[in-house]
Amino acid sequence: MSVLRAEWTKFRSVPGWVRGAVIAALMILVFPVTGLGGGPPEQTRPVPIGPDGGPVVDAYYFVHRPLSGDGRITVAVGFAGAAAPWAKAGLIVSAGPALGARYAAIMITGGHGVQVQHDYVHDRAVPVEAPRWLRLTRAGDTITGEASADGTHWTPAETVRIPGLPATVDAGLFVACPSQVEGLGTSLDAATADFGAPQLTGGWPEAGWSGVQVGAGSATFGGYPREMPGGFKPTADGFTVTGAGDLAPATRNDIAVGASAADLLFGTFPALIVIVVVATLMITTEYRYGLIRTTLGAAPRRGRVLAAKAAVLAGVTFTTSLAAAVIGVPFWLRVVRGLGIYVFPASPGALLRAEAGTAAVLAVTAVLALAVGTILRRSATAVTAVVVATVLPHLLARTPFLPSAMANWLTTFTPAAALAVQQTLVRYPQVDTVYTPAYGYFPLSPWTGLAVLCAYTAAALGLAALLLRRRDA
């Protein structure tokens, strides 16, 4: 305890070290303002919000007619030529024309077989070999999907309940095709499907079929390739429908003007550099001026000295950084929303994890810098080594033109993996997009990423303790 008290006294008696800890916290607190200069663009097109409160892509070509009460629609369907893996063609019941309206659908896809989806985030594969026929049945608020290879033997897919479904809904055929990942970005795509004549039973009033591009003016609909405009046309035995867009959760790539909570913690990077300098100087200064002999003379158990220095550094860094993050994130979220920028939602638990995780990253990195300083004994060399190992990999990974494989490798196997604790965006298995750190998606889970940094720090601290015991002061 006396060693810990001595190291705490030593830390607070050096004004430069105290100022460094304060400056690092201020970097987290005020750095987001540098990204707001010049006035960010405002999101002018509406972002569809799904039933769960998250942003969605609600865009597809819809050939529909009203269904009053209960009813069933059966149709033969197949893609006209090659289709992208998540191109979709099938049957849908929609609760209404509003963006983000509830729905239930059954569909064939270009590469994932038959899927039953509802309310954007719910997706289930149906084990049907060589599907050719689809059926959708409404009974009150309950929608049942079925699939068949021959139109005679049916495989029940899934039954879902859509609460609040109005008495009269729009139902019919739809085609969608999301943008395809192409290199470091995405390119527009569309799909065409041939439908047989729909077989209708139940409450279908006499009406013709109408076609509409759902979600045409929404922020998450990219549009069509020039060579494939959307639409439908009757054929001798049904319809040919071309559609683009998707029915799915929206990702960062779908919203041109969007932000996440992690964007407001970009001050972590300059804060890391400041903390690394402070932590390194805490040990290298003693070597430079020969004070290490006095320190070790007063506390001969060298491992305890190193542990006390690490505890003081980690405690001060975590406390100041956590205070800055807890104050700064809610404040900047309010500012960014006030500027008209869409912010991806995050639960209070996810925000708290990002804030506490940021403080933990800075604290553990401080201990890593202390360990490296003990090993190398030279300030400039130690600072450079730690910055190159922790800050540089993540800055490179955040560069949009870095190949995704390299970006993911850097944030998996280097200490920069720890910044995964800041991510609040979600990967969706039913959505193909650019999932890289540049867009806010990390290859490791938050705590696994932090564990990578902890492993590097534990190894460095162990080596530092060994060398401190064996080398002369």
Looking at residue 34, its pLDDT comes to 52
Tokens of 283: 């040990």
Higher confidence at residue 292 or residue 416? 416
Looking at residue 292, its pLDDT comes to 66
CA 343 vs CA 250, 332, 442: distances in Å: 12, 11, 18
Higher confidence at residue 262 or residue 354? 354
The pLDDT > 70 percentage for the chain reads 93
| CB-neighbour burial class of residue 154 (10 A; exposed 0-12, middle 13-18, buried 19+) | middle
Contact 442, 449 (CB under 8 A): yes
- The whole-angstrom separation of Cα 355 and Cα 166 is 43
Tell me the pLDDT of the chain averaged across its residues.
90
Task: Supply the pTM of this predicted model.
Answer: 0.88
- The string of pLDDT tens digits covering residues 318-342 is 999 999 999 999 999 998 888 888 9
Rg of the chain over Cα atoms, rounded to whole angstroms, equals: 29
Looking at residue 290, its pLDDT comes to 66
Looking at residue 283, its pLDDT comes to 87
Look at residue 472 and tell me whether its pLDDT is greater than 60: no
Local structure of 91: helix, strand or coil: strand
Give the mean model confidence (pLDDT) for residues 22-26: 94
Tokens of 303: 């491992």
- The whole-angstrom separation of Cα 238 and Cα 312 is 75
Contact 173, 90 (CB under 8 A): yes
Tokens of 206: 């006499």
- The whole-angstrom separation of Cα 92 and Cα 106 is 7
Residue 37: which pLDDT band, with cuts at 50, 70 and 90?
very low
Looking at residue 398, its pLDDT comes to 85
- The string of pLDDT tens digits covering residues 161-217 is 999 899 999 999 999 999 988 777 788 999 999 999 999 999 998 888 999 999 998
**CATH number of the domain at 56-254, out of 2.60.120, 1.10.3470, 1.10.10, 2.40.50?**
2.60.120
Contact 330, 261 (CB under 8 A): no
Give the mean model confidence (pLDDT) for residues 97-114: 94
Residue 40: which pLDDT band, with cuts at 50, 70 and 90?
low
Which one of 390-394, 396-400, 444-448 scores highest in mean pLDDT?
Answer: 444-448
- The string of pLDDT tens digits covering residues 400-440 is 788 888 999 999 999 999 999 999 999 998 898 888 898 88
Residue 39: which pLDDT band, with cuts at 50, 70 and 90?
very low
Residue 102's H or E segment, with its range, is none
Closest CA to 264 of 337, 201, 170, 206: 337
Tally of CB atoms within 10 A around 205: 9
Contact 249, 428 (CB under 8 A): yes
Look at residue 79 and tell me whether its pLDDT is greater than 80: yes
Domain range summary for the chain, segments of one domain joined by +: 2-42+257-470, 56-254
Residue 38: which pLDDT band, with cuts at 50, 70 and 90?
very low
Closest CA to 42 of 472, 263, 400, 339: 339
- Classify the C-alpha dihedral 363-366-370-372 as positive or negative: positive
Least-confidence region, from 40-49, 84-93, 176-185, 237-246: 40-49
- The string of pLDDT tens digits covering residues 355-381 is 999 999 999 999 999 999 999 988 999
Least-confidence region, from 32-46, 188-202, 208-222, 455-469: 32-46
Contact 191, 243 (CB under 8 A): yes
Contact 247, 123 (CB under 8 A): no
Looking at residue 98, its pLDDT comes to 93
